[in-house]
Chain A
């Protein structure tokens, strides 16, 4: 497995197939400046990858605003009781 797959093609133009593997590193902001520039040059020129990036941003944003289902009411009661009793100690 290659953690930095784009290093192989350092001087080549980046293609879509590579971009989809770099999108997380790009969004995480952990790319070296020259690689980031290479990704951005590709994005400026590729509608497909711009759309892909936008979808990934929406996906992450949507996950961040997802509300988990509420806890089991019995567990909730039991924990509140334990919290109260601990207080009383």
Chain B
């Protein structure tokens, strides 16, 4: 989802519909990322509300050096970090959470490292660029089941659509760690969806 360049002008001109659109567009992802820092949904909701109020206050001085949505997520991460420190909670990005987590169960491969049998497909429709609607309905649930750092990275990269550089910068991750977290997150989401697919006949 790209920033609409006209949106910032409308926001600065006080266009309420533009602000409402901005809230509708980003609120869910903001909550999702906030929740990776704080313990409860209520605390995440507070952080998101503070973020929006910060956005309202800051719009006049926002210089547009980053994209609007990167700026908004930057405000969120700063507030969420402060809150997490108050909760004396370990920040989720201090570790990679688990060391050598395979993308696919090792038993799927033979001793030669090749698929023991053809791997299960998520989807049987060869033409479609998207997963079936049934599977898509479970995507957010699968994302919510991930460990915090993976959840934050896949949300920002794949749900919000930020670039790898932006996510490294926001979450203070190295390029390699960001990629490992994204890889584990996507692999786990695939694994979570497998039992839900309609098995091809």
Q: Which residues of A contact B (CB under 8 A)?
A: 1, 3, 15-18, 20-21, 23-25, 28, 30, 46-49, 51-52, 55-66, 68-72, 75-76, 78-80, 82-84, 86-87
Contact with A along B84-119 (1 / 0, CB 8 A): 000000000000100110111010010011110011
CB contact under 8 A between A15 and B136, given known A1-B96, A58-B128, A68-B27:
no
Docked-complex contact A48 and B20, CB < 8 angstroms: no
**A51–B140 touching, CB < 8 Å:** no
A56→B106 CA distance, assembly (Å) = 18
B interface, CB within 8 angstroms of A: 1, 14, 16, 19-20, 23-24, 27-29, 32, 45, 48-49, 52-53, 56-57, 96, 99-100, 102-104, 106, 109, 112-115, 118-119, 121-123, 128-131, 135-136, 139-140, 143, 154, 158-159, 161, 164, 175-176, 179-180, 182-183, 186-187, 189-190, 193
Nearest opposing residue in chain B for A83, CB measure:
B19
Distance, CA A30 to CA B163, complexed state (A): 13
Which residue of B28, B104, B114, B130 contacts A65 across the interface (Cβ within 8 Å)? B130
Complex CA distance for A66 and B136, rounded to whole angstroms: 8
Whether B139 and A63, one on each chain, are in contact in the complex, defined by CB atoms closer than 8 angstroms, is yes
